[in-house]
Amino acid sequence: SAVISQKPSRDICQRGTSLTIQCQVDSQVTMMFWYRQQPGQSLTLIATANQGSEATYESGFVIDKFPISRPNLTFSTLTVSNMSPEDSSIYLCSDTTANYGYTFGSGTRLTVV
């Protein structure tokens, strides 16, 4: 399966600011997914990042708040914009490599103060 490098691993940000999270995959993948995991909760899908087209967002998530880029088949970014304390979560990217074990990035632990 693929290896995904995600950064930053953690950050503490002021409310109203934005943070961009990066994921680099060591092989080409068709789609990448961005998840949010709030404290004590399971993973909630934010959007699917498609190369060459706009991301597809899930209900409750909008492009203005979570803009996503996918410039090529090995890289994607998620920006958390105009942050508030409610955005404090772990953010994870994953790939769709083969039929076994979707691989996750190591996660970004975001705290908004």
Partner 1 sequence: GQNIDQPTEMTATEGAIVQINCTYQTSGFNGLFWYQQHAGEAPTFLSYNVLDGLEEKGRFSSFLSRSKGYSYLLLKELQMKDSASYLCAVYSGNTPLVFGKGTRLSVIA
Q: Is 85 helix (H, G, I), strand (E, B) or coil?
A: helix
Q: Is 107 in the site for partner 1 (CB under 8 A)?
A: yes
**Which amino acid, residue 74?**
T
Q: Is residue 55 classed exposed, middle or buried when 0-12, 13-18 and 19+ CB atoms within 10 A define those classes?
A: buried
Is residue 105 close enough to count as binding partner 1 by CB under 8 A?
A: yes
Establish if 96 lies at the interface with partner 1 (CB under 8 A): yes
Position 63: which residue type? I
Q: What is the Cα–Cα distance from 109 to 59, expressed in whole angstroms?
A: 23
Six token digits for residue 95: 């790939």
If one asks whether residue 42 binds partner 1 (CB under 8 A), the answer comes out as: yes
Position 45 contacts partner 1 (CB under 8 A): yes
Least distance between partner 1 and beta carbon 36 (Å): 12
Identified binder of partner 1 from the candidate list 43, 61, 67, 79, rule CB under 8 A: 43
| Residues forming the site for partner 1 (CB under 8 A) | 1, 30-31, 33, 41-43, 45, 48, 90, 92, 94, 96, 99-107, 109
